Amino acid sequence: MLAIYPGSFDPVTLGHLDIIERGCKLFDQVIVAVLRNPNKTPLFTVPDRIEQIRRSTQHLSNLEVDSFDGLTIDYARMRRASALLRGLRVLSDFEMELQMAHTNKTLSAQIETVFLATSNEYSFLSSSLVKEIARFGGAIDHLVPNHVAVDIYQCFAKTHPASAQTTALAPTPLPLITEPSQEKPLGRE
């Protein structure tokens, strides 16, 4: 049985990877499908996001990573998938996810939506939260794979140089830049 796991994955988090790994055990094949969404301004391009997911899932032989635009259900039909896979974190996810599942069911009765409860330790986690923490210089290496954390810090180093100096992945203290006047011994001129 083939399942599609659609999403934005901007960027992929350990919560997504938890769903991907468990999905790969349940289904014969899983396709992670990154939505090309012209209405959103993402942090990462679609090829970047695909690469981040591929790098994080090299150990999964029944996984493919792809991108799509338009309706998820059309992509699922085109790939001859039987199921859409989605993770459920908290109750507030449920309303939106149920609406999507019902809508998709009206578009194709054959394709089922299967929900996996996100593992407890990731129930608070979202891509937006990761980006917000990184933007303000907080540690994110416990929330995303290390290479993704590096990518995020590099992104913010370009747009918000100050946040890059306080990240957990850059624990080595940056050399203090002191004003020349402060370096001079006091009382001497």
The torsion of the CA quartet 61, 59, 52, 14, rounded to 10 degrees, works out to: 110
119-178 positions binding ligand PNS, by CB under 6 A:
none
| 25: number of Cβ within 10 Å | 9
Size of the site for ligand PNS (CB under 6 A): 10
User: Is 112 annotated in some ligand binding site?
Assistant: no
User: Is 97 annotated in some ligand binding site?
Assistant: yes
Spatial contact of 8 and 127, defined as CB atoms under 8 Å apart: yes
34 beta partners: 7, 67
User: Is 87 annotated in some ligand binding site?
Assistant: yes
61-100 positions binding ligand PNS, by CB under 6 A:
71-73, 100
142-175 burial, b at 16+ Cβ within 10 Å, e below that, comes to ebbbeebbebbbebbeeeeeebbeebeeeeeeee
* Residue choice 45, 62, 103, 165 for contact with ligand PNS (CB under 6 A): 103
First to last CA, the chain: 80
CB of 71 to ligand PNS, least distance (A): 4
Place of tokens 């301004």: 41
- Contact letters for ligand PNS, residues 35-64 (x by CB under 6 A): x-----------------------------
* Binding site residues, ligand PNS, CB under 6 A: 6-8, 35, 71-73, 100, 103-104
Catalytic residues: 16, 40, 89, 127
- Residue list, annotated binding site for ATP: 8-9, 16, 87-89, 97, 122-128
- Residue list, annotated binding site: 8-9, 16, 40, 72, 86-89, 97, 122-128
